[in-house]
Structure formats: structure tokens, C-alpha cells
Amino acid sequence: MKKIISGLTALLTVSALSLTAAANVRIEPKYPMHGNKCGMVTVVPDVERDIHVVIVQNTIDGDYKYYDEIIPADAQDRVSEFALEGKDDVLYTITIGVPKYKGTQQYEEYTDKFGVPDTDEMTDSDIAGYNFTFNVGKNETEEIASQITRKGEADSEKIVQTETALLFPVLEAIKGDVNNDGKVNVRDAAAIASGIVKGIELPPYGDFNGDGKVNIRDAAAIASSITKK
């Protein structure tokens, strides 16, 4: 793959979104640095949650993690870019995670693969680079929804653009806060225990330990988390 520097420079200067690179990007020291800048992943958050982004390059020699980053919910500029490098045809796996409930690090995750073709035989007049944009928003249902809204279209700067809309289930309830007082404490543990004894249907966000059920184990997990504080 030849170096595609000019195309990426054009992408950064003409973008209508005024994108800025993620300030906290860390690259693992053992992944192959070829100096071949072949594209960019852009994550555009539209949901008030931390967003977890993991990008892995898949090769016949093994998998190399390029990025493992959190885009904070309170960041001033949350649009983040992740530069791609590679050699020959490149396959990447991206995982994007969003917490379903406030105040947790248990992520609902979307995983996808995408490829960047070998550009050895191409010139800058043919193609200048590849940009994969993921627009992350809120879904009104309990499922993650994805839709490709733009697929492999070259823009005026000859950057091949692919855009995917991702909608995640995001609930305003706090996980474990079954009495809805805005806090998770011993009262919620008691409410879960009482609800189980009385046969009352408990809300799904009472599933504090994340096993897909609301039961006495969640009451115990809440009590345990309180004693550890």
C-alpha cells in the first residue's frame, strides 16, 4: 500500500464537520508501523454517554489493536478521528460500545469489519484515502440498530466515504435504582428483596449484576457495592 498523505490532509482541512483528532489516542507499541496512512475512522457521538471505541487490524500474522479509547460524555468536542495504517489489503474490526444505563461501564456493543484495499496500483488521481464514519445515536427500542447511509462514495477530494448510523438503547434510569430516587443504595436492595417475596414484577434496570435477570443476586450485588465504597 502506498502512502496516502495528501488525501488525508485534504480530508482534515475540508471536512464540513470541523473534525478534531482524539487527544487521548494511544497506539500499542508492538503493532506494525508501516507509515502507510490509508484512511480514517470518524466517530460522531449524539448520545450523552461515554463511548468505547476499539479498532483492531486483522492480519495473517495476528491481530493488532490500534485503539482502545473512551470518548467521555462530558468532553467539549466529542467527534473523534482514528487514523488507519496498513500494508497490502487490510481488514479491520471495530467495536463501539455505549452504556445502556447511567453510571455504568457495562456496554451494549456493536462490532463490524471493514476492509481497505491495497492502493499500490492507484494514483492520487484515482483515490486519496478512505473514511469510515459512525454516527452514534439513541434508539427508542431495546435493540442496537445499524444502517449504512453512504457506501463507498468518493467525495470531491477523492476520499471514499462510508457512513453508518448506529442507534443504541439508552435508558435514563440508573442501573439498580429500582425505587427511582436517583441513587443506588440499600433501599434498592431492600426493594428488590421485597418485590421478589411479594411477587411484584421488577423493572429491567434492577438487573444490577448484568446477568439478564432481576433476582436476589442483584440485591446482594447492590449491598456488596455499598460496603466497598
Which of 33-37, 97-101, 137-141 comes out lowest in average pLDDT? Answer: 33-37
My answer on whether 165 and 116 are in the same domain is: yes
**Domain presence at residue 174:** no
What domain range includes position 205?
186-228
pLDDT tens, 155-179? 888 888 999 999 998 877 788 888 8
My answer on whether 224 and 148 are in the same domain is: no
From 142, 169, 196, give the residue that closes a domain. Answer: 169
The mean pLDDT value for 22-43 works out to 60
My answer on whether 154 and 215 are in the same domain is: no
pTM: 0.69
* Residue found by looking up cell 464537520 in the block: 17
My answer on whether 47 and 146 are in the same domain is: yes
State the pLDDT at residue 90: 81
How does the average pLDDT of the chain come out, rounded? 78
**Domain presence at residue 180:** no
The mean pLDDT value for 111-115 works out to 91
Confidence of residue 18 (pLDDT cuts 50, 70, 90): very low
My answer on whether 134 and 29 are in the same domain is: yes
Residues 6 or more apart whose CB falls under 8 angstroms from that of 108 comprise 97, 98, 99, 100, 144, 168, 169
My answer on whether 75 and 138 are in the same domain is: yes
Confidence of residue 13 (pLDDT cuts 50, 70, 90): very low
State the pLDDT at residue 119: 58
Task: List Cα–Cα distances, 11 to 60, 119, 136, in angstroms.
Answer: 30, 17, 21
Beta-strand pair 107-116/129-139: unpaired
Q: In what order do the strands lie in the sheet with 107-116?
A: 62-71, 51-59, 90-99, 107-116
**Domain presence at residue 52:** yes
My answer on whether 207 and 135 are in the same domain is: no
Number of domains in the chain: 2
My answer on whether 220 and 114 are in the same domain is: no
